[in-house]
A and B are shown apart, each in its own frame.
Chain A
Amino acid sequence: MKHTISVLVENHSGVLSRISGLFSRRGFNIESLAVGPTNDESISRITIVADGDDHTVEQIEKQLNKLIEVIKVKTFGRDEFVARELMIVKVNAPADKRSEIMTIAEITGAKVMDITLTTMTLEICDRYDRLCRFEKVIEPYGILEMARTGTVAVERGAEYFSAKK
């Protein structure tokens, strides 16, 4: 089962390597990992989507908490959070296919970032599963290149995840 885990860490060099090392060393599977700064410049936030049963996730949380530079760990319960991922994709788009692709973009909420005589570059920011569906629809046109950020997530509702609490 997939789990989305948020980790607040000290903004030190080497932290990411400690975390990714921990996952590979202990045999935990990462589906995606996204890291970025937060409103507190001393803290970075890492969002990890990992696959595993409840026992595995409990171990992941505990092992993450053992790392000295990890300040807080939270695994979100199903449907308790909002999540987004950004995908940029460059597809074959000869003149006769452009309008078809535009229609797909309109329906899925993708935006055109760039266009040439033969290609289009689209961006879409949505949930992981919707990106996968978008990919399936766009694939027949010929995907030339693709980049995805990995999921970032925050909790729904007025509750919030902070180092200070």
Chain B
Amino acid sequence: MKMTVSQAMVECLKAEEIKVVYGYPGAAICPFYDALLDAEKDIKHVLVRHEANGGHAASGYARISGKPAVCIATSGPGAVNLITAIATAYADSIPIVCITGQVNTDQIGSDVFQEADVTGAAEPFVKHSYLLKDPADVARVFKEAFYIAGSGRPGPVLIDVPMDVQKMTVDFKYPKTCEIRSYKPTGKGNALQVKRVTEALRSAEKPLICIGGGVFASNAQAEVVALSEKLNIPVITTMMGISVLSDDNPLFVGMIGTHGTKIANYAVNACDTLFLVGARVGDRAVKTPLALEKTTKILHIDIDPAEIGKNIGADIPLVGDAKLVLQQMLAYIDKHPDGTADHTAWLGQIAEKRTPVKFEKPVKGTVNPKEFLQKLAERMPANVNICADVGQNQIWTSRYYFKRGGRFLTSGGMGTMGYSLPCAIGARMADESRPTIAICGDGGFQMNMMELATAVQYGVDVKVIVFTNTRLGMVRELQTKGYNDRQIAVFLDGSPDFVKLAAAYGIPAVRVKDSKSADKAIEMLAEEKGMLLCEVVVDKDFPTL
């Protein structure tokens, strides 16, 4: 069918069943926006207040829907603003398709107004990118982009479309499948390796399963639970693997790493066999992988062969999709039921290290954020999306907000401040049955608070919690501990009154300064429909751990 490239782009999105796009228009992407107007019934456009937040919202949407989500920006500064979101999605392997306008083809390379080489600039952070110069390629490029973003190890794909190309006419037909000779992601694992991994894991005296974000990427949560229960093996997570297991699962030990729990770090050092599932052994998760690989047998599943052996040597590598590989392992165990060691003593050894959580009494006029989060978790429904920002709030939430089947969403790899609110908007829009809370500090919130307007404009029911300590708390703590308490550039004294700020957006807001107001706020967060901002006052010296 004959149509313009812009119309074809819209048809591609429809064919991919895209219902929502997040974007910010400008001259170079106007032809595409014009075509979007005609598709209003099928595709809802959400005008974010900054391009990076469009990318983060798409990321939140993709993480809940399990499919690639779309964000849009114009050429030059719009496209360059998007790069932080692209890099954030790349670090956490989140499938997003980013569409950017580019200056006219014959102007490329001449430094015209709002020209930036975005495919070049974003190159280190994309799974793949396209500069669409030939209108005849539009259908193939979009089909490939969605396929590449969502398959294998997911990640961001960028499509840069010059303005003149958007206006050209093309004979459009969307392909049903796509065939890329140089891209064939692995699905099932090699049967022999599956057997070797399974035998090594089940026969070990002190085995431990460590799960990362790859478990969510392949939707293998149920398989992880099934395997750990079948073999009676304890489970630890990286930050990206939090909420795969319910925190009250007796086999769940905790999060490892610099900011992990003592007991989880104890388990990782005490185990004799470590089974990594979709975890890349980042430096924040395992500080000294070379020491660990010497003392521990490492079994490693990853869909990305480059992750196996990159940070830690694997005794038995296994390339494949986590869900399929775990299903193979479960099937193998069903066929060969004998040979699983008794892990009761090992579980007991870990359980001995469990200590009850005790909360320190907060300074007057402030609240203990850990206790607040624990109480909030008790009151919220299980299927909640908890979107933590970056910094102390992130660690408090990862450790003290008790998860029971919902999703914990955060920027784990890149540590992008300002991620939580736009991510929450996307996550909530992807599934309106899930209550959604964005949790930030007063630093990160001031990087994204303009998105309150987006949530208001499109009626997105997200709750926002802002922990205010008038500090960039984690950096302050680093300066205190590592730089002889020489504090610089960590003071947020010019901050607005966040309750009044919310009121200016027409959003109800409460301030929490003591346990009484905390209880009331938690009740409101759990019960009230519509947006709510809750400022929680925290002492300036309150520690991360």
Contacts and interface: CB of A to CB of B under 8 A. Distances in A.
B110 interface: no
A79 B181 CA distance: 30
Interface string A145-165: 000000000000000000100
Contact of B180 (A9, A63, A68): A68
Given A59-B310, A62-B306, A68-B127, A17 B182 contact: no
Contact of B124 (A21, A55, A72): A21
A58 to B, nearest CB: 7
Nearest to A58: B309
Contacts of B140: none
A30 to B, nearest CB: 17
Given A17-B120, A163-B181, A65 B127 contact: no
Given A17-B123, A21-B123, A70 B309 contact: no
Interface string A62-75: 11011011111000
A14 interface: yes
Contacts of B306: 59, 62-63, 65-66
Contact of B148 (A17, A18, A68): A68
A62 B123 contact: no
10 contacts: A18-B123, A21-B123, A25-B124, A59-B309, A62-B310, A63-B306, A68-B128, A69-B182, A71-B181, A71-B182
B51 to A, nearest CB: 23
B166 to A, nearest CB: 20
A85 interface: no
A51 interface: no
Given A17-B120, A18-B123, A21-B123, A10 B182 contact: yes
Contacts of B127: 68
Closest 4 CB pairs of A and B: A62-B306, A71-B182, A68-B128, A68-B183
Interface residues of B, number: 17
Interface string B293-314: 0000000000011100110000
Given A18-B123, A59-B310, A68 B305 contact: no
Contacts of A68: 127-128, 148, 180, 182-183
B100 interface: no
A45 to B, nearest CB: 14
Contacts of B131: 14
Interface in B112-132: 119-120, 123-124, 127-128, 131
A70 B127 CA distance: 13
Nearest to A9: B182
Interface in A17-73: 17-18, 21, 25, 55, 58-59, 62-63, 65-66, 68-72
Given A55-B309, A69-B182, 16 more contacts: A9-B182, A17-B120, A17-B123, A18-B123, A25-B124, A59-B306, A59-B310, A62-B305, A62-B310, A65-B305, A65-B306, A68-B128, A68-B148, A68-B182, A70-B182, A72-B182
Contacts of A14: 119, 131
Contacts, number: 35
Of A14, A18, A66, the most chain B CB neighbours within 10 A belong to A66
Contacts of B180: 68
Interface string B72-110: 000000000000000000000000000000000000000
Interface string B167-192: 00000000000001111000000000
A46 B127 CA distance: 21
Nearest to A42: B181
B500 to A, nearest CB: 45
A72 B184 CA distance: 12
Nearest to B148: A68
Contacts of A66: 304, 306
B142 to A, nearest CB: 15
Contacts of A70: 182
Nearest to B153: A66
B206 to A, nearest CB: 28
B126 to A, nearest CB: 10
A72 B120 CA distance: 23
Contacts of B182: 9-10, 68-72
A143 to B, nearest CB: 36
Contacts of A9: 182
A72 B183 CA distance: 10
Nearest to B306: A62
A65 B180 CA distance: 13
A65 to B, nearest CB: 7
B102 to A, nearest CB: 14
Interface in A131-152: none
Nearest to A62: B306
Interface in B291-337: 304-306, 309-310
Contacts of A62: 305-306, 310
Contacts of A25: 124
A159 B180 CA distance: 25
Contacts of B123: 17-18, 21
Contacts of B181: 71, 163
Interface in B47-81: none
Contacts of A17: 120, 123
B310 to A, nearest CB: 6
Contacts of B309: 55, 58-59
A14 B181 CA distance: 18
A82 B28 CA distance: 50
Contacts of A18: 123
B210 to A, nearest CB: 21
Contacts of A71: 181-182
A59 B148 CA distance: 21
A62 B303 CA distance: 12
A17 B310 CA distance: 23
A34 to B, nearest CB: 20
Best-surrounded residue of B120, B180, B183 (most CB of chain A within 10 A)? B183
A65 B185 CA distance: 11
Nearest to B123: A21
A25 to B, nearest CB: 5
B254 to A, nearest CB: 31
A10 to B, nearest CB: 6
B106 to A, nearest CB: 16
Nearest to B119: A14
A52 to B, nearest CB: 14
Nearest to A60: B306
A160 B181 CA distance: 19
